[in-house]
Amino acid sequence: MTRQMIQNVKQENVIELMCEVLELSESSEKKVAKAVEKLGIQTFFTSIDALDIDEVEKDRIKALKEVIEAKAKSLEESEGGQ
């Protein structure tokens, strides 16, 4: 039970930081947090267009997704090259 609580707190902190960095409105932040909790982070990033938030904010989230994917690919390539 404690492990799950810690995981939830970590996820909440990451979501809060993500929303702050992306400069999302307070209402969008709540919608994003709810979507991540409901869908999980991977499904959330594949469902960005379904969010009921401003298009500019969706674009910021999509840009973050691209950065994360590029970094993951880079890490995979560097690990495969060792």
Q: Phi and psi for 48 in degrees, rounded to 5?
A: -60, -40
Domain that holds residue 30: 2-80
Kindly tell me the burial class for residue 61, based on how many C-beta atoms sit within 10 Å of its own C-beta (0-12, 13-18, 19 or more). buried
Residue 82 has pLDDT above 70, yes or no: no
Domain count, the chain: 1
Please count the CA atoms within 13 angstroms of the CA of 25 that sit on its side-chain side.
10
In whole angstroms, what is the distance from residue 24 CA to residue 34 CA?
14
pLDDT, tens only, 23-58: 999 999 999 999 998 998 889 999 999 999 999 999
Say if residues 36 and 15 touch (Cβ distance below 8 Å).
Answer: yes
Query: Which pTM value belongs to this model?
Result: 0.81
Q: What is the CA radius of gyration of the chain?
A: 14
Token pair, residue 42, equals 């991977």
